[in-house]
Amino acid sequence: MNTPSLNGQTHEEIEKIFRTLLPQNGLAVREEQVALCHNMLDALLKNNIALCDAGVGIGKTYAYLTACILLRKNAPHSAVGSLPVVVSTSSIALQDAIIEEYIPFLSRIFLENHIIQKPIRAIVRKGKERFVCDVRLAQRLEAVKDKKKNIEQLEALLSLRTYYDLDAVTGLSGFDRRQVCVPKFCEKNCRQRGLFRYHQYLKEAKSVEISIQICNHNYLLADAARRLQELHPLLNDYQALVIDEAHKLPDAARQMYGQSLSAEDFREICDLLAKEKHILAAQHLNEKFSALMRSMCRDEPLEEDRRTAFILTPDRITALRDCLFLLRQTQKQLAPYLPRWISYRLGAAENILNLFFTMERKYILYIQYDRAGTPSLCAASREIPEQLNQALWLKNIPAILTSGTLMAGGSFDRPQKIMGLSENQRVESFIAASPFNYEENCLLYIPDSPLNVQIGSEKEVKYLAGQISRLVEASRGHTLVLFTSYALMGAVYNQVKDRLPFPLLEVWRHSSDMIHKFKHSNNAVLFAAGSCWEGVDFPGDMVSSLIIVRLPFSVPNPLSEAEREQYPSLQDYIRAVIIPDMQVKLRQGFGRAIRTETDTCVISILDHRAAPGERYHQAVLEALPNLRITRKIKEVEEFIRAKKSSDYFLS
């Protein structure tokens, strides 16, 4: 697609929108945001692939949506110019905000000022398993009609008569969700198929009136995979692509191009066979599956999720051979009698087990253990950069990849490599720094390295507990403490729980209730790990002290070991992979501190490897904006007293 770069008319439109129209409608606009929209639209018009690191508060969503709308308006009047754009995100929350807030706001302003002639229409695209099948819903409601059922779950189930998007309903049990969702394969002879709300939704999604299709990264990659196989695509053809939260794209690719088989998958296959009255086949498969699981089980429960390289031991060879033989025999004997989706599940299970039996070198084969020690077989592709390149970047479609943490250590080398863009001549990059005054509103506390304290030792736990207690006292609560290990979090929590006069909360996995409780407490302290390093918003005085206990280095695992093999030395690997990945994660954690331009916060890094003169001190400073630095807790106390109002100390 040959299109011109930014011309005078589009330049004037951007200036008018950001300097006049948006401010008149209550949106604060900064110079950095105007420049960002210019750069984004110019990249799209030049048919380039732009990597954009956009800091907190820059307003990148308004910038790329405006760029996409102006692209459609100014593109040539051709089949390409009439195509929609795709916006891919990682989180449902961002999708909801775009569809419910950003687009209605921009559509109204642009219509009122005659920039566009029709309202901007957008739709969220996602997998069929996220929607209600009306026939299956009727069957499920009939099944529970005379049974005692949890009131909240029953109300959620009944609400599906109004809402067909399962994500819009809270309180729905996982079992009910599986029972009522649109199945993987719909029966073609279903008389009501065209009348279902899901099929009406698909009809709307294909309308030429849709300007913006919104999806997640997995759906985007699934659509690309279908196009490569010359199958019917999931998304409408599109003229431009925006990937927001782009740092999450490699994770989505690992899921898309990898394969896994868990104990739960085995149980579901056996249950499906039993429901089809093939009880003996289900029992035999269950016996062989159970033997395979036993060959991989660990005796002790685990503190953390663990991944270990798969080793083909003699007992695993026997168990895999038995499973494969029985799966093939079952498919051969029962093929005429099985529904299509059950045959598909049997075939998929056979394919995955065969990867492990043959030790297929195209994949990194490993066992994933949950906290209870239950194993899952996982196969991760070794060719993700090449697969992303073929799926997305060779299509000659302009793209914007943006995130608040896309860059590492002042370079885009790492994201370009893992996303298959290192050799692409269409790539350009730019940085839109956060407009926040970090030097004025932040203080970075990094204490001197403690003597004779080793990572993982009992001394370290006591040292961390002492530092955290003093910092929490200095900020009078209002503290988020980020850990890289749940085990360390629990150990430190036990040390400080009786020392502090403030509400002390712990977030374990998926504990949204505890985060909600913290947000509604005046001066609480939240111990957190895992997902709380990013995507959680704590504005105002909620977090006046952010404590990063250890630098967020990745735990060695089979995936990192496979990547290590690509580098000539350990030092090369550390410089190219380990440090950049740590810096990205550190920036994500740092982003919890300052969410608005009036927020003030102390950021403390207690890992002695970050201390002045230590190995990673410079890497830490490179990852963060320019900040005032102190080694003294007394200066932390003085900063809090200077920045906070008198009301802050009354809570």
Burial environment of residue 99 by CB neighbours within 10 A (0 to 12, 13 to 18, 19 or more)? middle
pLDDT tens digit sequence for 417-437 = 999 999 999 999 999 999 999
**Residue 340: which domain range?**
259-381
How many percent of the chain have pLDDT more than 90? 65
Q: What is the pLDDT of residue 80?
A: 60
Query: How many CA within 13 A on the CB side of residue 540?
Result: 8
How many angstroms separate the CA atoms of 2 and 14, rounded?
22
My answer on whether 538 and 451 are in the same domain is yes
How many angstroms separate the CA atoms of 133 and 192, rounded?
10
The residue out of 366, 381, 396 marking a domain boundary is: 381
pLDDT tens digit sequence for 447-468 = 998 877 888 889 999 999 999 9
My answer on whether 279 and 326 are in the same domain is yes
Q: What is the pLDDT of residue 4?
A: 57
How many angstroms separate the CA atoms of 198 and 170, rounded?
19
Query: Phi/psi zone of residue 74: left (φ > 0), alpha (ψ -120 to 50 degrees), beta?
Result: alpha
Cα 316 → chain centroid: 34
What Cα–Cα distance (Å) separates residue 398 from each residue in 11, 43, 73, 188, 223? Answer: 19, 7, 16, 37, 17
pLDDT tens digit sequence for 218-271 = 999 999 999 999 999 999 999 999 999 999 999 999 999 999 999 989 998 999
My answer on whether 390 and 369 are in the same domain is no
Q: What is the pLDDT of residue 1?
A: 41
pLDDT at residue 443 is higher than 70: yes
Decide: 601 and 644 in contact? Cβ < 8 Å: no
My answer on whether 578 and 480 are in the same domain is yes
Q: What is the pLDDT of residue 2?
A: 46
Supply 511's token pair.
Answer: 């504990």
Token match 């089980």: residue?
Answer: 297
Cα 118 → chain centroid: 33
DSSP labels, 566-624: TSSSHHHHIIIIIHHHHHHHHHHHHTTT--STT--EEEEE--GGGSTTSTTHHHHHHHS
Sign of the Cα pseudo-torsion (211, 214, 217, 222, in order): negative
Number of structural domains the chain divides into: 4
Report helix, strand and coil shares of the chain as percent, to nearest 5. Answer: 50, 15, 35
My answer on whether 480 and 610 are in the same domain is yes
The residue out of 432, 460, 493 marking a domain boundary is: 432
Let me know if residue 2 belongs to a domain: no
Decide: 458 and 78 in contact? Cβ < 8 Å: no
- What 8-state DSSP symbol labels residue 532? G
Sign of the Cα pseudo-torsion (567, 572, 573, 577, in order): negative
pLDDT at residue 303 is higher than 60: no
Residues facing residue 501 across a β-bridge: none
pLDDT at residue 398 is higher than 90: yes
Sign of the Cα pseudo-torsion (637, 639, 641, 647, in order): negative
> Strands 306-309, 363-369: parallel, antiparallel or unpaired by DSSP?
antiparallel
Count of beta carbons in the 10 Å neighbourhood of residue 395: 13
> Strands 399-403, 240-243: parallel, antiparallel or unpaired by DSSP?
parallel
Q: Across residues 185-210, what is the average pLDDT?
A: 78
Decide: 546 and 593 in contact? Cβ < 8 Å: yes
Burial environment of residue 220 by CB neighbours within 10 A (0 to 12, 13 to 18, 19 or more)? buried
Q: Across residues 113-140, what is the average pLDDT?
A: 91
The residue out of 198, 225, 246 marking a domain boundary is: 198
Q: What is the pLDDT of residue 113?
A: 94
How many angstroms separate the CA atoms of 650 and 647, rounded?
5
pLDDT tens digit sequence for 558-610 = 999 999 999 999 999 999 999 999 999 999 999 999 888 899 999 999 999 99
Phi, psi of 119 (to 5 degrees): -60, 150
My answer on whether 425 and 491 are in the same domain is no
My answer on whether 238 and 277 are in the same domain is no
Phi, psi of 257 (to 5 degrees): -95, 5
Q: What is the pLDDT of residue 81?
A: 61
DSSP labels, 543-566: -SEEEE-S--PPPP-HHHHHHHTT
Sign of the Cα pseudo-torsion (255, 258, 260, 265, in order): positive
pLDDT at residue 63 is higher than 50: yes
pLDDT at residue 189 is higher than 70: no
Give the pTM. 0.90
Q: How many distinct helices (H) and strands (E) make up the chain? A: 27, 18
Residues facing residue 444 across a β-bridge: 603, 629
Q: Is 431 helix (H, G, I), strand (E, B) or coil?
A: strand
- What 8-state DSSP symbol labels residue 462? H
Let me know if residue 370 belongs to a domain: yes
Q: What is the pLDDT of residue 546?
A: 97
Burial environment of residue 225 by CB neighbours within 10 A (0 to 12, 13 to 18, 19 or more)? middle
Phi, psi of 245 (to 5 degrees): 50, 45
Tell which wins on pLDDT, 354 or 74: 354
Let me know if residue 3 belongs to a domain: no
pLDDT at residue 374 is higher than 50: yes
Decide: 389 and 421 in contact? Cβ < 8 Å: yes
Let me know if residue 37 belongs to a domain: yes
Supply 491's token pair.
Answer: 């150990």
* Lowest mean pLDDT across 75-84, 108-117, 137-146, 159-168: 75-84
Token match 């009136």: residue?
Answer: 209
Angle, CA 293 vertex, CA 287 and CA 297 arms, to 5°: 140
Q: Is 272 helix (H, G, I), strand (E, B) or coil?
A: helix
Decide: 56 and 591 in contact? Cβ < 8 Å: yes
CATH of the domain at 302: 1.10.275
How many angstroms separate the CA atoms of 326 and 282, rounded?
10
Let me know if residue 1 belongs to a domain: no
Most confident of 113-127, 132-146, 193-207: 113-127
My answer on whether 287 and 319 are in the same domain is yes
- What 8-state DSSP symbol labels residue 379? E
Let me know if residue 556 belongs to a domain: yes
Query: Do you know the residue count of the chain?
Result: 651
My answer on whether 402 and 376 are in the same domain is no
Let me know if residue 298 belongs to a domain: yes
pLDDT at residue 169 is higher than 60: yes
pLDDT tens digit sequence for 327-365 = 999 999 998 888 888 898 999 999 999 999 999 999 999
My answer on whether 388 and 399 are in the same domain is yes
Q: Across residues 382-403, what is the average pLDDT?
A: 96
CATH of the domain at 567: 3.40.50.300
My answer on whether 290 and 336 are in the same domain is yes
Return the amino acid letter for 409.
G
Q: Is 132 helix (H, G, I), strand (E, B) or coil?
A: strand
My answer on whether 373 and 391 are in the same domain is no
Angle separating helix axes 486-496 and 458-475, nearest 10 degrees: 60
The mean predicted confidence, pLDDT, of the chain is 90
What Cα–Cα distance (Å) separates residue 133 from each residue in 160, 490, 551? Answer: 10, 44, 47
Let me know if residue 624 belongs to a domain: yes
Supply 542's token pair.
Answer: 């909620």
How many Å is the maximal CA-CA distance in the chain?
Answer: 78
Q: Tell which residue, 64, 51, 85, 56, has the closest CA to residue 418.
A: 51
**Cβ neighbours of residue 279 under 8 Å, at least 6 residues apart?**
273
pLDDT at residue 371 is higher than 80: no
Q: Tell which residue, 254, 260, 296, has the closest CA to residue 559.
A: 254
Return the amino acid letter for 105.
F
